[in-house]
Structure 1
Amino acid sequence: MDWFTAPGYWLSRLVFQRALAGVYLVAFLTAALQFRALLGERGMLPVPRFVAQVPARRAPSLFRFHYTDRFFAACAWTGCAVSAALLAGLDGHLPLWGGMLLWLVPWVLYLSIVNVGQTWYAFGWESLLLETGFLAVFLGNDEVAPPVVVLFLLRWILFRVEFGAGLIKMRGDVCWRRLTCLEHHHETQPMPGPLSWFFHHLPRGLHRVEAAANHVTQLAVPVLLFAPQPIATAAASLMILTQLWLVLSGNFSWLNWITVVLALSAIGFPGGGAPASVADTAPVWFEVVVLAVAALLVFLSHHPVVNMVSRRQVMNRTFDPLHLVNTYGAFGSVSRVRYEVVLEGTADDVPREDSDWREYEFKGKPGAPRRWPRQFAPYHLRLDWLMWFAALSPAYAEPWFGALVERLLEGDRDTLRLLRRSPFPPGAPPRHIRARLYRYRFTTWRELRETGACWQRAYVREYLPPIRLADDVHRA
């Protein structure tokens, strides 16, 4: 079938595949370096306990057949190795079926991790990576030109990411309709970056321009993805610029980067056609498989479509246990005030207000007022992100916060590796730990010059009273 392939998108596919492999690599590296404290056998939310409670049909995973921390580590590091091989272009040196199987490996491994990841992996970019990674299996390699239908489905994902996010904003917080959300967002976002302080202090008029441009990019531009070239390229390029602006303004894991990757697949690069040596037609078996998968995905797409047109639209929801077709969206509401939970420990046998309370420092979340935010994305600091949710409401912390306090009281090394610094030496954990809630705000230009601090914080209330191992730490 002559219409089946799009030789002009040869380079687009190549750039997309290498960029996607890079995102996979970051995702697996994040899993490999953090899982023991979060999901391990002695983690805060252990995988063995989860698989014993949740039916396999709801969360299929390799770890249902076998779980040890060593096996999880092997899967995560294997994912890193395969992602690096794909980044280097190994799939192009294999037969078509071999390249497809190689792309299938990281998808299966990451699906297995996400489906037992519980609240640590309850982020939209996990499903987005899986949905995009599944389609990458059927893009082909150097033996064939990229299939038109797969390129279309990649644009369909990008459309849902952007348009769904635009709709959730317009239906959600009134500040998006008033163009005032960005007067607060840069300060109250989950994990500010090194430039967030400066973004926050942009003129109010420019914040309104930012919000208006966001609406245009998310509600109008996505439709143009399905227009002929070069209009589709222009639309995708505008989305990339918008995502890079977001990369500069904060730490959003690989959400922005996977969106950029999707946009790359829609760009028609000049001179990016297939080499003359490539056959005009794809193997029949490949066409059958691709069309069957496409038909399945189109059928499953009715769930996100219904969700998008619904007045009760939800964001970041998967509709099947394989994460094949999902709905997306971000910041349907924007916090006006930033709260942070600060953990402190003391070695005193009897905790008092005047005891020597020492603060634990996290890698990414705000802590000491003089410590400037750092850039971590696309690497994802999962505990830091959940601490932001915990500050919004103790209900978000219910499954894991008590276990975190318990691990800190034990001086658990895997948990301490998730932190920037522990105020207590190795092997000498505190006798008591408490948590306090503070209100944070960015300092003004004058305050920054006078104090050198980018944050100002004020005590709000006790979040968790002083507690020790003998107590019920799950009262948090």
Structure 2
Amino acid sequence: MDWFTAPDLWLSRLLFQRSLAVIYVVAFLGAALQFRALIGERGMLPVPRFVERVPFRRAPSVFHRHYSDRFFAAWAWTGCAVSVALVAGVDSLLPLWAGMLLWLVPWAMYLSIVNVGQTWYSFGWESLLLEVGFLAVFLGNDEVGPPVVVLFLLRWVLFRVEFGAGLIKMRGDECWRRLTCLDHHHETQPMPGPLSWFFHHLPKPFHRVEVAANHVTQLVVPFLLFAPQPVATAAASLMIATQLWLVLSGNFAWLNWITIVLALSAVDFGTTAPRTPGPPLWYTIVVLAVAALVLWLSYHPVRNMISRRQVMNRSFDPLHLVNTYGAFGSVSRVRYEVVVEGTADDVPREDSAWREYEFKGKPGDPRRWPRQFAPYHLRLDWLMWFAALSPAYAGSWFGALVERLLENDRDTLRLLRRSPFPADAPPRFVRARLFRYRYTTWRELRETGACWERTYVREFLPPTRLARSPARNP
């Protein structure tokens, strides 16, 4: 069975497994801290309503059998605890079969969350975590060498992530073909990071080089992942360097980090392999069966990838086992932001004392510099970016957000950086306005200290109040 394992890649497996477990921790932590306002019993898109209209077969989840906020919280925190155990290497202390079952637990638990998360969990990195997490179940532990078949399946995922993203760029916005997309992207991306302003102000010729290098990394280098070593290691290392560049330039939750983790599984660190016994027959059969299943399920993702009508971030099965990926097929030239404000006045007027709600990650106050949040995912902030692109993206939840703000809902306010109203005195009215944001120039930054300059565009939501305002404390 020498062909079945690659003992020299034991360190690659170790780094992959521990790093993936860290991403699981981040994912479960975000679910535990944000779910009440988003999908809780009184959330903007409550799970109980969702499971009433969507059958189990379309979205398998434990929450079809039972849901309460207390149960969801226990579920998410348990997922955190199991993931921490995997970070600590508990799976290596167990028999092979038990270690595999331990890895299966966070995958099944997070699947239950994603399948009821609705638009809050519709991002490509959710499906990517589930697909990679499923394959991690079959990587084994210290009892066996890393199975070659699973390592190549991980490279197959990485290939689809990178090559799919490259194809959708070339088929999409013409600025990718003209090498000009990065003239705008750092300014208009969903959630800028602390260095994004500086990336935007790099010389335009350098932006052309960035785009060209991106095309090479996504359209050429992925094929080298399946070449013999050390070529595969060089290809994976180049992908890691590219992803680290993206980490520095923006906040993309754990998309960049899980891509780096995938690439680690292809790197040969040249370490001496520890002695391991041959794999048991049952393990070999299970791994080969999983490989056959993945190859069979790859039909639709591959067909989508080669289609002229390629779509981004699509799951073709309810378990998210094999998916299609892609990002930024088009790039916005102008940045718009929805600014949410409230007033305590009984009659809302333009000259009323409107006070602005501050979000944690999305741009607001022009003088407030962006912070680094990735790999943590600020779900409301991301959806606010989509809302600014088109009100249609916010149709299912924005009204509920305004209602919660009018109630000074504690769980909703925890998603924000700051509310301008005290807990016992909610606003009488809330409105939303659309602004155009642009980065300031070097001169403007020196003179004003502001990294953004914003201009009012139009009303997004007129002043709105509850049908029956909550009673105020005397």
Class of the TM-score when normalised by the shorter of the 2 chains:
over 0.9
- Secondary structure at 1:2's aligned position in 2? coil
Q: CA RMSD in A?
A: 0.9
1:470 positional shift: 1.1
Q: State the shift of 1:2 in Å.
A: 2.3
**Equivalences for residues 216-235 of structure 1 within 5 A:** 216-235=216-235
Instruction: Note if 1:374 corresponds to 2:371.
Output: yes
Shift of 1:313: 0.4
The match for 1:300 among 270, 277, 297 is: 297
SS at the partner of 1:4?
coil
1:193-246 deviation digits (Å, cap 9, x = unpaired) = 000000000000000000000000000000000000000000000000000000
Does the Cα contact within 8 Å between 1:50 and 1:116 map onto a contact in 2? yes
What residue number does 1:47 align with? 47
Deviation (angstroms), 1:270? 1.4
Q: Counterpart in 1 of 2:93?
A: 93
SS at match of 2:3: helix
Counterpart amino acid of residue 10 in structure 2: W
Partner residue, 1:145: 145
Q: Does 1:412 align with 2:392?
A: no
How many positions carry a matched residue from both structures?
469
In the alignment, the residues of structure 2 paired with residue 126 and residue 32 of structure 1 have an alpha-carbon distance, to the nearest angstrom, of 15
Could you list the per-position Cα deviations for residues 59-108 of structure 1 after superposition, in whole angstroms to 9, with x for gaps in the alignment?
00011111000110111001100110000000000000000000000000
Cα distance in 1 for residues equivalent to 2:148 and 2:271: 18
Q: How does 1:194-205 map to 2 (within 5 A)?
A: 194-205=194-205
How much does 1:427 deviate?
1.8
* Residue matched to 1:454: 451
Task: Give distance in 1, aligned partners of 2:245 and 2:422.
Answer: 40
The correspondence of residues 241-390 of structure 1 with structure 2, limited to 5 A, is 241-273=241-273, 275-276=274-275, 278-279=276-277, 281-390=278-387
Residues in 2 aligned to 1:43 and 1:22: alpha-carbon distance in whole angstroms: 27
Q: Distance in 2 between matches of 1:81 and 1:427?
A: 36
Residue identity matched to 1:231 = V
Match of 1:32 in 2: 32
SS in 2 for 1:237: helix
Three-state SS of the structure 2 residue aligned to 1:440 is: strand
Deviations 1:426-472 (A, max 9, x none): 12110000000000000000000000000000000000000100189
Aligned to 1:178: 178
Q: Secondary structure at the match of 2:462?
A: strand
**Match status 1:57 vs 2:87:** no
Percent identical across equivalent pairs? 83
Match of 1:397 among 394, 399, 413: 394
Mapped to 1, the partners of 2:380 and 2:305 lie a distance apart of: 30
Q: In structure 1, the residue corresponding to 2:220 is in which secondary structure?
A: helix
Q: Describe the SS at the equivalent of 1:194.
A: coil
Counterpart contact for 1:9–1:272, Cα < 8 Å: no
The whole-number CA distance in structure 2 between the counterparts of 1:346 and 1:221 is: 54
Output the CA distance in 1 between the equivalents of 2:267 and 2:104. Answer: 24
User: Is this contact kept in 2: 1:349–1:431, CA < 8 A?
Assistant: yes
Q: Is the 8 A contact 1:11 1:272 kept in 2?
A: no
| Deviation readout 1:356-389 (Å, 9 max, x if unpaired) | 0000000000000000000000000000000000
How far does the alpha carbon of each residue in 1:93-130 deviate from its partner, in whole angstroms, 9 at most, with x for none?
00000000000000000000000000000000000000
CA contact (8 A) 1:44 1:404 kept: yes
CA contact (8 A) 1:339 1:392 kept: yes
Mapped partners of 2:321, 2:454: distance in 1: 43
Aligned residue type for 1:202: L
Letter in 2 for 1:456: E
SS at match of 1:457: strand
Alignment of 1:435-446 (within 5 A): 435-446=432-443
- Partner deviation per Cα, 1:243-298 (whole Å, 9 max, x = no partner): 0000000000000000000000000011152x12x11x200011111111110110
3-state SS, counterpart of residue 460 of structure 1: strand
CA–CA distance in 2 between the matches of 1:351 and 1:470?
15
AA partner of residue 85 (structure 2): A
Corresponding residue number in structure 2 for 1:21: 21
Q: In 1, Cα distance between the equivalents of 2:182 and 2:445?
A: 21
CA distance in 2, matches of 1:119, 1:252: 17
Measure, in 2, the Cα distance between the counterparts of 1:308 and 1:432.
Answer: 47
CA distance in 2 between partners of 1:435 and 1:328 (Å): 33
**SS class of match (1:464):** strand
Q: C-alpha separation between the residues in 1 aligned to 2:14 and 2:188?
A: 38
- In structure 1, give the amino acid aligned to 2:296: F
Cα distance in 2, alignment partners of residues 331 and 115 from structure 1:
24
Q: In the alignment, which residue of structure 2 is the partner of 1:103?
A: 103
1:120 paired residue number = 120
Q: Deviations over 1:304-349 (max 9, x none)?
A: 1101110000010000000000000000000000000000000001
TM-score (norm 2): 0.98
Which 4+ stretches in 1 moved above 2 angstroms? none
CA distance in 1, matches of 2:79, 2:349: 48
**Counterparts of 1:427 and 1:261, CA distance in 2:** 46
CA 1:166–1:471: 2 relative to 1, 3 Å: farther
For structure 2, the 5+ residue unaligned runs are 470-474
The reply on whether 1:70 has 2:70 as its aligned counterpart is yes
Distance 2:3 2:71 in 1: 44
Shift of 1:5: 1.0
Which of 400, 403, 420 aligns to 1:423? It is 420
Task: Give the secondary-structure state (helix, strand or coil) at the position aligned to 1:441.
Answer: strand
2:201 and 2:445 mapped to 1: Cα distance? 12
